[in-house]
Amino acid sequence: EAQVTQNPRYLITVTGKKLTVTCSQNMNHEYMSWYRQDPGLGLRQIYYSMNVEVTDKGDVPEGYKVSRKEKRNFPLILESPSPNQTSLYFCAFQSGGNYEQYFGPGTRLTVT
């Protein structure tokens, strides 16, 4: 069964302190994506990756970076977090030609 793991699951940090949220899938799916979820705004895509070394911006990429050096891993990097990045973050992969996306358990980030 294909699964996505995210770490950490909960994180409280301070403004400006660089952090990385890891995302790992246990299969070799090519497509992966990061979303943030905020009350009243729903799920919004931050970045996505079609394959190793191929990434592109989603709807809300400002303040975030990603990298895809290996197919299984797709970390989300916040170089200088700010309080408006306090949110619930989800990593997802897309399963082949069915276009279905499967989500990880989420990372709740609080930036003070």
Cβ closest to other proteins, residue 12 vs residue 43: 43
Q: Shortest approach of other proteins to residue 12 CB, angstroms?
A: 16
CA-based torsion, 43, 103, 88, 71: positive or negative: negative
What 8-state DSSP symbol labels residue 80? Answer: S
Q: What part of residues 42-61 is at the interface with other proteins (CB under 8 A)?
A: 42-45, 48, 50, 58
Cβ closest to other proteins, residue 78 vs residue 90: 90
Does residue 94 touch other proteins according to CB under 8 A? yes
Cβ closest to other proteins, residue 40 vs residue 69: 40
* Residue 48 bridge partners (DSSP): 33, 56
Q: For residues 6 and 22, is the Cβ–Cβ distance under 8 A?
A: yes
Which region, judged by CB under 8 A, interacts with other proteins, from 20-28, 63-71, 78-86, 91-99?
Answer: 91-99
Distance CA 37, CA 50 (A): 22
